[in-house]
Amino acid sequence: MQVLSRLWKREWPLHLMLVPGLVLIVIFSYIPMAGIIMAFQKYVPNKGLFGSPMIGWRNFQLLLDYPDIGRIFFNTVYIATMKIVTGLLVPITIAILLNELRREWMKRTFQTLVYLPHFLSWVLLSGIIVDVLSPSSGVVNQLLGLLGFEPVFFLGSNDWFPYVMVVSDVWKEFGFGTIVYLAALTSINPSLYEAAEIDGAGRIKQTFHVTLPGMMPIIVLMLTLNIGNVLNAGFEQIFNLYSPPVYESADIIDTFVYRMGVQQAQFGFATAVGLLKSVVSFLFISLSYILAYRLANYRIF
């Protein structure tokens, strides 16, 4: 007890610093969870949360009977999976290439340049992407025209739109991911490279036999933790770039919930869709932490 008392006297300022964050979490994360009851109601705004009639599982039945729900879930998983895979491969590749640079100023310059887009919002980036990919005046289509190709309406084509989302997301975020893998590279014992060089291994063989095995724990960890994002395809990005002509390939769960709930005022139905997504995401996140513990010995507590 005396030890605990001393620890409390020494660390109470640190606990006090947690209070504002805990208050914000309670206000914005836990109190709004009372709205889950709307998933089981025919919600009427003027009757409020506790005055609207209960309809049980009818909203979920409507969800399962909705004609486009399969396509919406497929779009979500398809785009999110491509983002997870490319968001893993590209930062690893860039981190290895940056690690090969021997001039420190050059390494830091490139690292800063690729990291900057992470701080830009999708509202700003969407305007840039629209201008760059414009079929009439965009830089990309002008280059295609010089090469003899017809202009491509990237943001208006169901064939191209998902890949534009993946490429633009990777361009924005790979700099942030690169930092994680550069940190992993610093933990590799330099004597392993010296031993490989003595054995006659060149830089490519050293990459495959020393660098990648040394990075494997953090690679496995990042991959397993990203499993929980398999239903998060990026609402802000897609919302700012999609349009009705590409709903077939661009409509995801989050944009569907926005249209049903905010634009069409089907609050109960939209809440049911969001609740189903949250439950499935919770299961994926639980699975990802189990895999992270078993494969990478990562644990929170």
Q: What is the pLDDT of residues 128-152, one digit of tens each?
A: 999 998 888 888 888 888 888 888 8
In a domain, 125, yes or no: yes
pLDDT at residue 83, rounded to an integer: 92
The arithmetic mean of pLDDT across residues 175-191, rounded, is 85
In a domain, 67, yes or no: yes
In a domain, 90, yes or no: yes
Domain with 116 in it: 41-296
In a domain, 18, yes or no: no
Angle at 228 between CA 222 and CA 230, to 5 degrees: 105
Which stretch of DSSP H or E encloses residue 212? helix 212-226
Is the confidence at residue 163, as pLDDT, over 90?
A: yes
In a domain, 25, yes or no: no
Question: Per the structure, how many domains does the chain have?
Answer: 1
In a domain, 47, yes or no: yes
In a domain, 234, yes or no: yes
| Residue count (the chain) | 301
The arithmetic mean of pLDDT across residues 222-241, rounded, is 84
pTM of the model: 0.83
Q: What is the CATH number of the domain that holds 210?
A: 1.10.3720.10
Buried residues in 233-246 as b, exposed as e (16+ CB within 10 A): bbeebbbbbbeeeb
Which residues make beta-bridge pairs with 266? none
pLDDT at residue 68, rounded to an integer: 85
In a domain, 3, yes or no: no
